[in-house]
Amino acid sequence: MRSEHRLQSIGYVWRSSNAELTKRYFREAPGQERTHIHVRRLGSWHEQWPLLFRDYMRQHVEEHEPYVALKRSLAERFRNDRAAYTSGKDDHLWQIIRRADRWAAANGWTPGNSDM
């Protein structure tokens, strides 16, 4: 059984409007605790990007506070506008991923397993 069918069989709702074609995005059923599940195609950019981000951030604790501060500021400013909150992180995230890419090249990083 494909992952999306398994998730749907236990009540998660596939958000088919997600524009990222190599990622399936699921949410909780109405009335359930907030849950976001991202299922990514093995080997795709959408799989590698979060693994690189995760591994880089784990090695560079100095990056944490500016990212946390930005997220808190955006959450306060865009409390009821999820799209604005998400797009507000774009520039900062791309700056991090460019540094992460240089770090990966210098250290021979390759995508490891997810934490799941």
Nearest-angstrom CA–CA distance, 96 and 62: 11
Provide DSSP, 33-92.
PP-EEEEE-TTSHHHHHHHHHHHHHHH-GGGHHHHHHHHHHHHHHTTT-HHHHHHHTHHH
Q: For residue 98, what is the DSSP state?
A: H
Question: pLDDT, tens digit, for every residue of 87-105?
Answer: 999 999 999 999 999 999 9
Axis crossing angle, helix 64-77 with helix 90-107, rounded to the nearest 10: 160
Ranges of residues in the chain with a pLDDT under 50 are none
